[in-house]
């Protein structure tokens, strides 16, 4: 599949050098790559999630979730690059380096679509992470990153990277994390057709997972009376939770994770009562999901 610009023809002649196409052409190219990669379409933010897009000299996107502090994602570009708002998207064009970045909201966060138009364009694109106090980014084996609060409770993620050329073919790409700088490396110079589009996606508050060891789940459920609804008040005022299980409780009660996590805890008592949780198994449930807990690799709870 060939990504097309506003006029219905390739937005960039393969290997040519010149200015980045118009904003509308960049948006079309990015959308074509999203479709080729089978990624969700933009828009449709969940209730409680907010995305503030940059405009003008500011190239920083802010994402906040329900009862979660805002986190920031600084977009690549030169000092002369400026963000242009187009409805619910923003485009940063770096004409002198042959690339543009489209920032757009998705259901549970934001993605930055690096759209590369020239073989001499950079292969490294720096995104600056502005995380709230106590939140850290940790690389995962699948190539993504987990955003976690103190004591390891997950509150967000950066999905594994992907990149596609104008034919819809995959282009090698990966992340490197140095301090607060997330670099997406895109090995595009052997690509058959331009533009090449690469995507880091930040999810915050929803669409992420809470991980508990079975013994932690059993301890919390027992402290709540097993069948009791796990309301925030009941959980935070329970006096009989073993100190070893306070890793999660302390986070929930400090407001470190979304209030939606309390909703999934409401089903915890039923699982405990039925004897589902094996003490030495790691269990996971999606925040804002259907409340089900499933066994997963123990690395998720480490």
pLDDT tens figures, 4-63: 222 333 343 333 444 689 999 999 999 999 999 999 888 878 777 889 999 999 999 999
Strand-pairing partners, residue 209, are 286
104: in domain: yes
pLDDT tens figures, 131-185: 988 888 989 888 999 888 765 667 788 999 999 999 999 999 999 999 999 999 9
Of 185, 204, 223, which residue sits at a domain end? 204
Position 296 scores a pLDDT of 78
**Is there a contact between 55 and 83 (Cβ–Cβ < 8 Å)?**
yes
Q: How far is CA 8 from CA 2, 25, 103, 116, 168, in A?
A: 10, 9, 23, 18, 16
Position 224 scores a pLDDT of 62
Answer yes or no: do 173 and 55 share one domain. yes
Answer yes or no: do 188 and 114 share one domain. yes
User: Has residue 96 got a pLDDT over 70?
Assistant: yes
Answer yes or no: do 75 and 123 share one domain. yes
User: Has residue 73 got a pLDDT over 70?
Assistant: yes
Position 141 scores a pLDDT of 84
18: in domain: no
Compute the average pLDDT of residues 259-286: 73
**Is there a contact between 297 and 281 (Cβ–Cβ < 8 Å)?**
no
Position 245 scores a pLDDT of 56
15: in domain: no
Answer yes or no: do 81 and 226 share one domain. no
User: Has residue 94 got a pLDDT over 90?
Assistant: yes
Position 2 scores a pLDDT of 23
Of 204, 228, 262, which residue sits at a domain end? 204
Strand-pairing partners, residue 74, are 60, 128
Q: What DSSP character marks residue 37?
A: T
Token pair belonging to 70: 């805002």
Q: Does residue 219 or residue 105 have the better pLDDT?
A: 105
Position 44 scores a pLDDT of 79
Answer yes or no: do 257 and 170 share one domain. no
Phi-psi region of 233 (alpha: psi -120 to 50; beta: other; left: phi over 0): alpha
Answer yes or no: do 266 and 181 share one domain. no
Q: d(Cα 8, Cα 28) in Å, to the nearest integer?
A: 9
Containing domain of residue 110, as a range?
A: 23-204
46: in domain: yes
Q: What DSSP character marks residue 240?
A: -
Q: What DSSP character marks residue 299?
A: G
Answer yes or no: do 162 and 247 share one domain. no
118: in domain: yes
What is the DSSP track for 77-136?
Answer: --TT--EEEETTEEEEEEGGGTEEEEEEEETTEEEEEEEE--TTS-SEEEEEEEPPTT-E
Answer yes or no: do 170 and 232 share one domain. no
Q: Which of 171, 218, 222, 212 is nearest to 193 (CA)?
A: 171
Q: d(Cα 231, Cα 259) in Å, to the nearest integer?
A: 10
Position 275 scores a pLDDT of 77
29: in domain: yes
Answer yes or no: do 147 and 282 share one domain. no
pLDDT tens figures, 205-245: 655 667 778 888 787 777 665 444 444 555 566 655 655 55
Token pair belonging to 95: 């004409």
| Residue 250 three-state SS | helix
Q: Which of 165, 118, 186 is nearest to 3 (CA)?
A: 165
Q: d(Cα 23, Cα 172) in Å, to the nearest integer?
A: 26
Number of continuous H segments (helices) and E segments (strands) in the chain: 6, 19
Position 209 scores a pLDDT of 66
How many structural domains are present in the chain? 2
User: Has residue 279 got a pLDDT over 90?
Assistant: no
User: Has residue 3 got a pLDDT over 50?
Assistant: no
225: in domain: yes
Answer yes or no: do 179 and 165 share one domain. yes
pTM above 0.75, yes or no: no
Answer yes or no: do 73 and 189 share one domain. yes
For 39, half-sphere exposure in the C-beta direction (CA atoms, 13 angstrom radius) is 29
Answer yes or no: do 123 and 193 share one domain. yes
119: in domain: yes
Of 204, 230, 257, which residue sits at a domain end? 204
Least confident of 73-82, 204-213, 292-301: 204-213
Q: Does residue 222 or residue 104 have the better pLDDT?
A: 104
Q: d(Cα 136, Cα 103) in Å, to the nearest integer?
A: 22
């Amino acid at each position: 599949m060939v990504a097309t610009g506003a006029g219905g023809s390739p937005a960039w002649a393969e290997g040519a050098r010149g200015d980045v196409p118009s904003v509308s052409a960049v948006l079309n190219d990015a959308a074509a790559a999203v479709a080729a990669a089978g990624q969700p379409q933009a828009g449709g933010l969940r209730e409680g999630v907010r995305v503030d897009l940059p405009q003008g000299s500011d190239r920083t996107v802010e994402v906040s979730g329900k009862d979660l502090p805002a986190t920031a994602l600084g977009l690549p570009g030169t000092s002369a690059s400026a963000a242009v708002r187009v409805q619910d998207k923003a485009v940063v064009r770096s004409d002198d380096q042959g690339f543009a970045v489209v920032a757009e909201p998705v259901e549970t966060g934001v993605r930055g679509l690096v759209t590369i138009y020239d073989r001499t364009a950079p292969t490294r694109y720096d995104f600056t992470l502005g995380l709230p106090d106590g939140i850290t980014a940790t690389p995962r084996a699948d190539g993504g990153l987990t955003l976690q609060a103190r004591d390891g409770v997950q509150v967000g993620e950066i999905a594994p990277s992907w990149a596609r050329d104008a034919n819809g073919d995959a282009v090698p790409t990966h992340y490197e994390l140095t301090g607060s700088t997330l670099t997406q490396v895109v090995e595009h110079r052997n690509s058959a057709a331009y533009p090449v589009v690469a995507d880091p996606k930040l999810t915050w508050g929803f669409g992420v997972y809470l991980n508990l060891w079975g013994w932690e789940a059993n301890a919390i459920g027992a402290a709540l009376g097993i069948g009791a609804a796990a309301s925030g008040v009941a959980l935070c005022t329970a006096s009989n939770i073993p100190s070893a299980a306070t890793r999660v409780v302390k986070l929930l009660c400090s407001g470190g994770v979304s209030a939606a996590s309390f909703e999934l805890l409401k089903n915890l008592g039923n699982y405990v009562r039925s004897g589902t949780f094996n003490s030495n198994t790691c269990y996971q449930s999606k925040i804002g999901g259907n409340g089900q807990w499933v066994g997963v690799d123990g690395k998720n709870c480490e």
